[in-house]
Amino acid sequence: MFKPKPSKKAEIDTLVGAKTRINGDVEFVGGFHLDGYINGNVRSELDSGSTLSVSEQGCIEGSVIVTHMVLNGLVKGDIEAGDRVELGPKARVLGSVHYTTIETAVGAQINGKLVHRTKAGPESLETAADGADAGPKGSA
């Protein structure tokens, strides 16, 4: 019978509390846990193996670019994950999710596109984030 692998706990280097509100973009390396609110884009270096976790009360209004994402709260923007996206039962995404591997719990909501990609380097994620893959080329 199938048994899920025990997931290793990600180390948290940065914690933003529930009563904290950030207006502006956030760049981080390592483990970042959000219980509060960010009005801006959240980004990590894609080759650093960084993890972003957002709790049920956490909210991001902006795009997210990260290696690994664990979401139980709300993201109002696109998610670009270099490796893995885990959506908990209370997760809500109002935007597209670009992923290599995705795990979605019953109850998670995505209002946007799911875009699967093969394991890719940082260049392809940065190109996608810049909108370079917005549509077919050469169409009028």
pLDDT bucket at 117, cuts 50 / 70 / 90: confident
Which region among 43-47, 65-69, 127-131 has the lowest average model confidence (pLDDT)? 127-131
Residue-level pLDDT at 133: 44
pLDDT bucket at 3, cuts 50 / 70 / 90: very low
The residues with which 46 forms a beta bridge, in sequence order, are none
The answer to the question of residue 22 being in a domain is yes
Encoding tokens for residue 75? 């993201």
| 31 or 138: which leads in pLDDT | 31
pLDDT bucket at 94, cuts 50 / 70 / 90: very high
Helix (H, G, I), strand (E, B) or coil at 48: helix
The answer to the question of residue 98 being in a domain is yes
The answer to the question of residue 132 being in a domain is no
Domain count, the chain: 1
Q: What are the E-state strand segments in 35-113?
A: 37-39, 42-44, 51-54, 59-61, 64-71, 74-75, 79-87, 92-93, 97-99, 101-104, 109-110
Residue-level pLDDT at 45: 80
Distance CA 31, CA 34 (A): 10
8-50 confidence digits (pLDDT tens): 556 888 999 999 999 999 999 999 999 999 999 999 987 678 9
The answer to the question of residue 135 being in a domain is no
Residue-range definition of the domain harbouring residue 118: 14-123
pTM over 0.85: no
Q: What are phi and psi of 125, to 5 degrees?
A: -70, -40
